[in-house]
Amino acid sequence: MRKTLAILMILCLAFGSTGALAADSPAAVMERCAQAMEQVGSFAAKGTLTVGVKGLVNSAVYDALSAEVFVEPLKVHILFEAMGAKIEAYAEEVDGKLHLHAKTGFVWDTQALDVAELFSAETGPVLPAEELHVERTQLADGREALRLSADIDLRQWLGEEEIQELIGQTMGVQAVGVYPPYEPVIVQIAAFVEVETGYLARVEIDLSQISSAVLTMLTPSQPGMESAPLEAEVKIGLDLFDWNTVADFEIPAEAKAQ
């Protein structure tokens, strides 16, 4: 779980930018968003997972994740449940340590992470502002938003082992040797910033390109014939809301007991 959280943090940090702040430029939008988010004390989140294969499996959208987050000190409750997997987790910052309590099945597991080390780790290059695309759009409920998007090669941030783990978790396969080494691992990411408030309202991570390549490689072919390319749809969406209005919660004693 720790590596999965780190991967998501890297994807979000990739939106960092510098440069002249023209109106509605990617740099200006991200700066306004950063300033707005600094004022947030708590928020809730809902995550969806979209999975399908064109011509074989119709795309299905799973309500996979819910979360409540308090910012300072950091306290988080996460519930993930999709495609037969269920994970509940709590995280709490105490005396410079982030105590992570995770439950898979019926067993709680606890680990302590150094907060300073966790948030100051080297994350690789930051995506330049000129490589981001920005456009005005609307969220599902009609709110106006600015959509920042980019294609990212994960090899700029992750080593081969981490990439294999990401592919394995996403596809549910043993990924060692499946994806060609040194080939670009392209992920499409997008952030939606609410125009009225500057809040980060939604994040989307599109893993369809990686998933399509892996599925095609894994599909058996007839001798002397290449497998027909498969088109997968694998997307993660995360909506953020309830700014500064999340009800406080207690971490269960049984979670801390481990």
- pLDDT (tens digit per residue) in 110-157: 888 887 666 655 555 556 666 788 999 999 999 999 999 989 888 887
Whether this prediction's pTM lies above 0.85 is answered by no
- State yes or no: pLDDT of 165 exceeds 80: no
Report the domain count for the chain. 1
Half-sphere exposure of 124 (CA within 13 A, CB side): 18
The answer to whether position 150 is within a domain reads: yes
Any domain includes 256 = no
Mean of per-residue pLDDT scores for the chain: 79
The full length of the chain comes to: 258
Inside any domain, residue 180: yes
Of the CA atoms within 13 Å of residue 147, those in its CB half-sphere come to 15
Domain that holds residue 122: 2-246
Q: What is the pLDDT of residue 240?
A: 93
Residue 255 lies inside a defined structural domain of this protein: no
Domain assignment of residue 190, yes or no: yes
**Could you give the percent of the chain with pLDDT greater than 90?**
28
Q: Tell whether 96 is covered by a domain.
A: yes
In a domain, 257, yes or no: no
Annotate 33-98 with DSSP letters as a single string.
Answer: HHHHHTT--EEEEEEEEEEEETTTEEEEEEEEEEEEEETTTTEEEEEEEETTEEEEEEEEEETTEE
The CATH number of whichever domain residue 210 belongs to comes to 2.50.20.20
Phi, then psi, of 36 in degrees rounded to 5: -65, -40
pLDDT digits over 174-216, tens only? Answer: 655 667 777 888 889 999 999 999 999 999 999 898 888 888 7
CB 187 within 8 A of CB 8: no
